[in-house]
């Protein structure tokens, strides 16, 4: 007698289950790729950010290395002045150093790269902006930096026990069309040697 083997109940994946699996995995992959694409579009190119930081540090160093004197450094009494006033032991007439570049008078007009009257004090850089092509101190354009803009703000800032008249907060802001928000760098300059001239 011949016996019939028992029927096996093997089961595979149905077509409907396969289609559902493909739809679920496809939706998950699309979501992940969308998030990666958004993150890539919204992020700043690391080279742009690194250049912006290098530019901000260079401008900050340029400003901080300037004298911080009571009088304009071109004033004949700048090395002996004891206060930001006019007199025998202070500045000569028109020589008191103010905020921003001197636009007129005996020591102006001052510009960053002026042949006759260049910036010569930390305060001269207040509201200064480099745009339309960054240049070095000789006025030569620096290749690759044409889209960057750098601006400087200088203001009196109390620093510990040092009054606002003797200490300055320097803020350098660098922007680029592909970088949001702009890079902001803060630094301080203290009048530790008021009569030190370059």
CA distances for 198 relative to 68, 69, 159, 195, angstroms? 11, 11, 25, 10
Pairing of strands 167-176, 179-190: antiparallel
Lowest mean pLDDT across 1-10, 84-93, 146-155: 1-10
Phi then psi dihedrals of residue 46, to 5 deg? -55, -30
DSSP assigned state of 123: G
Over range 31-52, report the average pLDDT. 79
Domain boundary assignment for the chain: 12-43, 45-190
Q: Does 198 score more than 60 pLDDT?
A: no
More confident residue, 123 or 196: 123
Q: Does 77 score more than 70 pLDDT?
A: yes
In sequence order, which residues have a C-beta less than 8 Å from that of residue 56 and are 6 or more positions away?
A: 150, 172, 173, 174, 183, 184, 185
Over range 151-172, report the average pLDDT. 88
With pLDDT > 90 as the criterion, what percentage of the chain qualifies? 18
Q: Does 147 score more than 60 pLDDT?
A: yes
Q: Does 148 score more than 80 pLDDT?
A: yes
pLDDT of residue 187: 93
């Amino acid at each position: 007698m011949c016996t019939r083997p028992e029927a096996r109940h093997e089961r595979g994946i149905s077509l409907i289950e396969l289609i559902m699996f493909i739809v679920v995995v496809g939706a998950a992959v699309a979501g992940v790729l969308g998030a990666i694409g958004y993150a890539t579009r919204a992020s700043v190119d690391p080279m742009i950010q690194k250049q912006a930081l290098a530019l901000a540090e260079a401008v900050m160093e340029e400003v901080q290395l300037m004298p911080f004197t009571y009088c304009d450094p071109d004033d004949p009494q700048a090395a002996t002045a004891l206060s930001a006033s006019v007199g025998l032991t202070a500045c000569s007439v028109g020589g008191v150093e103010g905020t921003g570049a001197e636009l007129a008078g005996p020591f102006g007009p001052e510009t960053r790269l002026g042949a006759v009257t260049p910036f010569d004090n930390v305060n001269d850089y207040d509201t200064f902006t480099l745009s339309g092509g960054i240049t070095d101190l000789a006025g030569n354009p620096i290749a690759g930096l044409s889209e960057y803009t750098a601006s400087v703000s200088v203001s009196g800032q109390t620093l510990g026990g040092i009054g606002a008249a003797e200490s300055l907060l320097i803020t350098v802001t660098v922007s680029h069309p592909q970088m949001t928000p702009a890079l902001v760098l803060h630094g301080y300059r203290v009048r530790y040697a008021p009569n030190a001239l370059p």
